[in-house]
Chains A and B, each alone.
Chain A
Amino acid sequence: MNVDLTNVNCTVAVTGLKTGDNPQPGTPVIRCLRDAGFKGKIVALVYDALEAGIYVEDLADEIYLMPFPSGGSEVFLRRLDYILSKVKIDVIIPTLDSEIINYIRLEDKLTDRGIKFFLPTEEQFLARDKTKLNRLFEELGISVPKSIFCSDAQELYNIVSIITFPFFIKGRLYEAYEVYTLDDAFAVFAKLKAKWGLPIIVQEKVIGDEFNVALLGDGEGGMLGMIPQRKIIITDKGKGFGGVVVENPELTEFAKKVISNLKWRGPAELEVIQNSAGQIFVIEINPRFPAWIRLSAGAGQNLPAMSLMKALDMPVEPIDTYATGTIFIRHSEDIISHISKFGTISSLGELHNKEGK
């Protein structure tokens, strides 16, 4: 049932090779492509010379340091053009929340350079933004926990009469903390405001079973594949370091409804909670593959491989079966390398692991 990329010969760029306690999805995305038999060149685009994936043997063929997304499109394109003078890139799979909108907005310029991707439109991307999700989904009849957007910490005094403790305080892009008292709430508000800016989101805590769904939308309202999992190991940062694939028909129908309404194109991760009455709430929609995406290949749906084929305009048949009970357990290990590798990437901004490929 899994996708075969043995005969797909192209060069794919992937971002996000940081691993560690808050891993990025780039490394497992590359592993999924290799799992599907992909023998083409992998170019890793990194933001830090110490992203661990750089040092993993047989992962990326070439690695290039990139300017941060906040640097703007001109700086980005200048760097990209330099990279393209060294290596042709056919497809790019960005995996980080903060960079994806830039790629979407630069679609025409990337197309001019012969680079394809399979990502949502700007409209779809913005519709799932945490600050818009609430209003949009209520209109569509999709449940979302009660959420209030807050630009001033003083508003917390009023909010506690609307949303009862404990509740979550979330940054606009990243991080969420459960708070039990007003003192906690003020402290977290200040922390998230300093780190991610305003607005801060105060969100009701829904009690129930939490699930994460990795999926690939076809852009026309259909689903090319989806793998739902329940976290079975959760770190103190709330990251899932182990999970099991579940089969929950209500969850499947719910995910299909969300994707159909958004006409979502490309990869996404839905974070949902099902309460004891069976009602399902969307917590977040992340516009990229999750860091646990290798589970999709293990369960019979290699979603990154399918997204590569879609980017290349190859026909992709939707897959609606998967192996329930497949689990992943994340482990960390020490990679042994040499300081010269770090020296090369940090001083030259690029590293060529395999020449002549």
Chain B
Amino acid sequence: MDTTKLKKLALSESGFIFDPSTGISYNSNEMAMRIISLLNKERNEAEIIAKITEEYDINQETFTRDLDYFISQLRNLHLVS
């Protein structure tokens, strides 16, 4: 997955995300911020699933579905490709 654009986003602890190249901003929750941070560290989907299910009380099946959906949203926003 190409995360070049994702790495250029300005992330704040509050969950506010600013894309300096387009001027578009987003609001995200703690989980989204955590996933973005893992993607920015070049973790693949399997590694992210392992990490998040270890850190949070969530089963693998549910999180895998949520992660797929979240990554598809990032694709739609042209933040990953």
State whether B23 touches A230 (Cβ < 8 A).
yes
Bound Cα distance A211, B24 (Å): 11
User: In the assembled complex, which residues on chain A have CB atoms less than 8 Å from the CB atom of B18?
Assistant: 244, 325
Q: Is B22 an interface position by the 8 A CB rule? A: yes
B18, B20, B22, B23: which has the most chain A beta carbons within 10 Å?
A: B23
Q: Which of A217-245 contact B (CB under 8 A)?
A: 229-230, 232, 243-245
Could you tell me the distance in whole angstroms from the C-beta of B25 to the nearest C-beta in chain A?
A: 8
Are B23's CB and A229's CB within 8 A? Answer: yes
In the bound complex, residues from chain A placing their C-beta under 8 Å from that of B75 are none
In the complex, chain A residues whose CB is within 8 Å of the CB of B24: 209, 230
In the bound assembly, the distance between CA atoms of A211 and B23 in angstroms comes to 9
**Contact with B20, one of A243, A247, A276 (Cβ below 8 angstroms):** A247
Of B10, B21, B25, the residue contacting A248 (CB under 8 A) is B21
Supposing A276-B78, A325-B10 touch, asked if A230 and B20 sit within 8 A by C-beta, the answer is no
Nearest B residue to A325 via CB reads: B18
User: For chain B, what secondary structure do more than half of its interface residues adopt (helix, strand, loop), or is it mixed?
Assistant: loop
Report yes or no: A325 in contact with B20, Cβ–Cβ below 8 A. Answer: yes
Q: Which of A166-183 contact B (CB under 8 A)?
A: none
Question: Smallest Cβ distance from A98 to chain B, in angstroms?
Answer: 30
The answer to the question of A246 belonging to the interface, with a C-beta cut-off of 8 Å to chain B, is yes
Query: A231: shortest Cβ distance to chain B, in Å?
Result: 8
Structural contact, B10 and A246, CB atoms closer than 8 A: no
Which residues of B lie under 8 Å from residue A244 when comparing CB positions? 18, 23, 25
| Structural contact, A232 and B23, CB atoms closer than 8 A | yes
- Interface extent on A, as a size class? 10 to 19
Q: Which residues of A contact B20 (CB under 8 A)?
A: 246-248, 324-325
Bits for B46-68, please: 1 = Cβ < 8 Å to A, else 0.
00000000000000000000000
Q: How many B residues are at the interface, by size bracket?
A: under 10
Interface mask (A256-296 → B, CB under 8 Å = 1, otherwise 0): 00000000000000000000100000000000000000000
Q: How far is the CA of A246 from the CA of B25 in the complex (A)?
A: 11
Task: List which B14-33 residues lie within 8 A (CB) of chain A.
Answer: 18, 20-25
CA distance A229 to B10 in the complex (A): 16
Complex Cα distance A243/B21, Å?
13
Residues of chain B within 8 A (CB-CB) of A249 are 21
| A276 closest partner in B (C-beta) | B78
Q: Give Cα distance in the complex from A246 to B22, angstroms.
A: 6
Q: How far does the Cβ of B51 sit from chain A's closest Cβ, in whole Å?
A: 30
- Residues B10 and A230 in contact, CB atoms below 8 Å apart: no
Residues of B within 8 Å of A276, CB to CB, are 78
Q: Are A230 and B78 in contact (CB under 8 A)?
A: no
Nearest B residue to A208 via CB reads: B22
A232 to B, closest residue via Cβ: B23
CA distance A244 to B19 in the complex (A): 11
Task: Mark B64-77 against chain A: 1 for CB-CB distance below 8 A, else 0.
Answer: 00000000000000
> Are A247 and B21 in contact, CB atoms less than 8 angstroms apart?
yes
Chain B residue with Cβ nearest A209? B22
Q: B22, B24, B25 — which one has the most chain A CB atoms within 10 A of its CB? A: B22
Least CB distance, B12 to chain A, in whole angstroms: 10
19 A-B pairs whose Cβ atoms sit less than 8 Å apart in the complex: A209-B22, A209-B23, A209-B24, A211-B23, A229-B23, A230-B22, A230-B23, A230-B24, A232-B23, A243-B23, A244-B18, A246-B20, A246-B21, A247-B21, A248-B21, A249-B21, A276-B78, A324-B20, A325-B10
Interface residues of A (CB under 8 A from B): 209, 211, 229-230, 232, 243-249, 276, 324-325
